[in-house]
Amino acid sequence: MKIAYMAFVALLPVAAQEFKIPASLDKLADKATEVVDVTLDGSMLQLASRFLSEKDPDEARVKRLVAGLKGIYVKSFEFEKSGEYEESDVAALRSQLKGPGWSRIVGVRSKRNGDNADVFIGSDGGQVTGLVVIAAEPKELTVVSIIGSIKPEDLRDLGGNFGIPKMEIGGHKSTGAKEE
């Protein structure tokens, strides 16, 4: 998986500050037709992990992924029509990730379908300590923040559990076209 490879080569020696999805984003809930809001801090992750089976290969992989994590936070807003959120909402998220220790490994701007997406990696002393995905589509805005130690194979494993098809790690060096 391209993104997993890019994450590995993007590691910086300076510690990244934890990225928190700002509460101000919740204002979008009023305009959204659907909101998904998942907050799993360390204790909830530990609790969930206790109910993951070692015998099930998919669940065992998730158990290993979760072992190094401190939190998973997801906010996703779906709208009836485009234009319901401002570019400034997204810019504010990205500006948080300009600090030390964060690097953007993927930036996609698609004129064809209006999708914009960024993937950021936080690192500390050569270890990945965070992953942030900001997916801004015309009728949907999704922010994912995963805090904790993530290995490149964990990114691959994100695709391998709960029946989702796996993706292969590729050897491409592309950093994504059409970046800002």
Partner 1 sequence: MEDLERQLKNALARKDAPDWFEAKVMASIRRDGGVQARRPALRWRWASALAVTVLVIGGVTWQHERMVQERAAGEAAKARLELALKITRVKLQRIEQRLNETERDN
Partner 2 sequence: MAGPGAAERNGEAEATAPTFSDVLRANQGMVFSIAYHFLRDRAAAEEVAQDVFLQLYRSFEELQNGAHAAFWLRRVTSNRSIDYVRKRKLQAAVALEDAPEPSVSEEPGDPMLNRRLRALIGSLPETPRMVMILRYQEDLMPEEIARTLDMPVRTVKSHLQRSLAMLREKIGRSMGDIR
Q: Does 179 bind partner 2 (CB under 8 A)?
A: no
Which does residue 164 touch among partner 1, partner 2, none (CB within 5 to 8 A, set by kind)? partner 1
Query: Reduced to 3 states, what is the DSSP secondary structure of residue 29?
Result: helix
Between the two ends of the chain, the Cα-to-Cα distance in Å is 23
Instruction: Report the C-alpha gap between 173 and 123 in whole angstroms.
Output: 19
Rule CB under 8 A: choose which of 18, 89, 115, 153 binds partner 1: 115
- Choose between 33 and 127: whose C-beta lies nearer to partner 2: 33
Nearby residues of 98 by Cβ (< 8 Å), 6 or more positions away:
none
Q: Does 31 bind partner 2 (CB under 8 A)?
A: no
Rule CB under 8 A: choose which of 55, 111, 112, 173 binds partner 2: 55
Fill in the amino acid letter for 140. Answer: E
Please, what is the minimum distance in Å from the beta carbon of residue 41 to partner 2?
A: 26
Q: What DSSP letter does each residue of 57-111 carry, written as one string?
A: HHHHHHHHHHHTEEEEEEEEEE-SSTTSS-HHHHHHHHHHTTSTTEEEEEEEE-T
The footprint of partner 1 on this chain (CB under 8 A) covers a number of residues equal to 43
Cβ–Cβ under 8 Å, residues 53 and 60: yes
- Choose between 46 and 53: whose C-beta lies nearer to partner 2: 53
Nearby residues of 158 by Cβ (< 8 Å), 6 or more positions away:
65
3-state helix, strand, coil in the chain (%, to 5): 30, 30, 40
- Which among 13-21, 87-95, 120-128, 172-180 is the span making contact with partner 1, rule CB under 8 A? 172-180
Rule CB under 8 A: choose which of 26, 37, 41, 80 binds partner 2: 80
Return residues touching partner 1 (CB under 8 A). Answer: 1-3, 34, 36, 38, 40, 44-45, 47-48, 50-52, 62, 66, 72-74, 76, 106, 108, 110, 112, 115, 117, 119, 133, 135, 142, 144, 146, 155, 158-159, 161-162, 164, 167, 174, 176-178
